Amino acid sequence: MQAPLAGIRVVEIAHYVAVPAAGALLADLGADVIKVELPPKGELYRRGRPQYSGYASEFPEGPGFHLDNRGKRSLLLDLNQAAARDALLRLIDTADIVTTNLLPGRRLRYGLDHASLLARKPSLIVAAVSGYGGGGEEADRPAFDYAAYWARAGMMDLMRDEGIPPSMLRPGVGDHAAASNLVVGILAALRMRDATGQGRYVEVSLLQTGLFILGCDAAMALVTREPVRRHDRKQTMNPLWNTYEVADGRWILLVMIDPTLYWPRLCTALERPDLLDDARFAEPFARAQNSAALIAELEREFARHALEAWRPRLDAAGLIWSSVQRLEEVLDDPQARAMGYFRTLEHARHGPFETLAPPFSLEGVPLGAARACSDVDADAEAILREAGLDPAEIARLKPG
């Protein structure tokens, strides 16, 4: 069956993660995504080899770059040159969607602001990600997800136990969330264009994405206007929703949010039926009132056995739990492998390598780009010919 976005062309004028990740999802859905890069060497993220981050691997490409740019064709354009801007506009004339994370002021200087693009081509969909939104005093404030999504949205403060300093965000976490939001907006705009023929502007910010991801706490805080309580594993009100260290230094997470059903099952798994008769733990309110004592009991019990001894016991009891897996373990997780959550990409020069599959599936429809991003400017001549440029015009755009 044909991919959902077959025949749709996307021109991406963006760098780093959020907008490129959205472009990769659109490529997974079958769109032709053209990545516009800046001279002299294209996007800096291309050069994020593992060795540059302290790994021993000699993999010659940026794995993160290809995750977020799989399936795209590359075109190098110096947008400071009038001829390059004109060529880009002619390319956009052939497109259905333009995606960008250029700051609003820069878009305006290049004639790539959404008002100008929609005036030129009313059926176009223009989609952008910014740090703090396209209006207000901070519209042109530069941002990464570390700042706008993690720290500014309140997540950095809340994502820690009491007494623990704030932790750094892992790379691309907020950007990938924003990318999914952007794709949702783009697909909605495409649906509206199908009905009316009219394009429109789609906007996502990292700050708003952070607020949405933190939505349960944010919604509560909007109503109560009280400080949100952080988790304290030594005295949480529900000890069955907590972390515990086991004998080999590994950790498990119990997630029995409604503990009533699971309390007898946990006692069975622990081989501690006596806890059921302990007045301190007999019912939910008592367990909440005596949570520190119960947590201490559970800590002692879980410390008696290693993780592999606990797995069958906790599963046999029908508990909701997980080991705190290391990422290198997740790569060979049998369930993830069975579900096809990893995918092989083909690189034109370096051959095949593994990356992540699309984060969704459609029954009966094969999804996911099969190849890595093209080398820098590898598709320039073909793309520019498709935009209607003649050989002389193409030659004048070549660097040097």
Can you spell out the DSSP letters for 233-267? TTS-S-TTEEEEE-TTS-EEEEE-SSHHHHHHHHH
Is pLDDT of 184 > 90?
A: yes
Q: Which domain holds residue 123?
A: 9-213+334-397
Average pLDDT over residues 271-291: 95
Q: What is the pTM of this model?
A: 0.95
Residue 318 lies in a domain: yes
What does the pLDDT read at residue 162? 84
* Rounded Cα gap, residues 310 and 270, in angstroms: 9
Task: Check whether residue 21 and residue 83 sit in a common domain.
Answer: yes
Residue 188 lies in a domain: yes
* Rounded Cα gap, residues 349 and 95, in angstroms: 29
What does the pLDDT read at residue 329? 97
Beta pairing partners, 76: 37
Is pLDDT of 29 > 80?
A: yes
Confidence of residue 399 (pLDDT cuts 50, 70, 90): low
Is pLDDT of 190 > 90?
A: yes
What does the pLDDT read at residue 1? 82
Task: Check whether residue 143 and residue 257 sit in a common domain.
Answer: no
CATH code of 351's domain: 3.40.50.10540
* Rounded Cα gap, residues 209 and 17, in angstroms: 14
CA distances (Å), origin 155, targets 41, 139, 152: 35, 21, 8
* Rounded Cα gap, residues 223 and 231, in angstroms: 20
What does the pLDDT read at residue 24? 98
Is pLDDT of 239 > 60?
A: yes
What percentage of the chain reaches a pLDDT higher than 70? 100
Is pLDDT of 400 > 80?
A: no
Average pLDDT over residues 387-397: 95
Confidence of residue 398 (pLDDT cuts 50, 70, 90): confident
Residue 236 lies in a domain: no
What pairing do the DSSP bridges indicate for beta strands 32-37 and 73-76? parallel
Task: Check whether residue 60 and residue 90 sit in a common domain.
Answer: yes
Average pLDDT over residues 311-318: 98
Task: Check whether residue 72 and residue 197 sit in a common domain.
Answer: yes
Q: How many CB atoms within 10 Å of residue 226?
A: 8
CATH code of 281's domain: 3.30.1540.10
Give residues with Cβ within 8 angstroms of 80, minimum separation 6. Answer: none
- The one-character DSSP state at 16 is S
Single-letter residue type at 186: I
Residue 4: asked if its preceding bond is cis (omega within 30°), the reply is no
Residue 283 lies in a domain: yes
Whether residue 109 contacts residue 21, with contact meaning beta carbons closer than 8 Å, is answered with no
pLDDT in tens, 50-82: 999 999 999 999 999 999 999 999 999 999 999
Confidence of residue 334 (pLDDT cuts 50, 70, 90): very high
Average pLDDT over residues 224-234: 93
Q: Quick one: angle between helices 206-213 and 215-224, nearest 10?
A: 80
Confidence of residue 22 (pLDDT cuts 50, 70, 90): very high
Confidence of residue 163 (pLDDT cuts 50, 70, 90): confident
Q: How many domains does the chain have?
A: 2
Average pLDDT over residues 110-116: 97
Residue 224 lies in a domain: no
Task: Check whether residue 279 and residue 342 sit in a common domain.
Answer: no
Task: Check whether residue 174 and residue 39 sit in a common domain.
Answer: yes
Q: What is the mean pLDDT of the chain?
A: 96
Residue 169 lies in a domain: yes
Smallest CA-to-CA distance from 302 within 249, 255, 265 is with 249
Domain end marker among 298, 323, 348: 323
Domain end marker among 266, 294, 323: 323
Residue 20 lies in a domain: yes
Task: Check whether residue 148 and residue 287 sit in a common domain.
Answer: no
Task: Check whether residue 340 and residue 314 sit in a common domain.
Answer: no
pLDDT in tens, 6-16: 999 999 999 99
- The one-character DSSP state at 146 is I
Residue 197 lies in a domain: yes
- Note the maximum CA span of the chain: 88
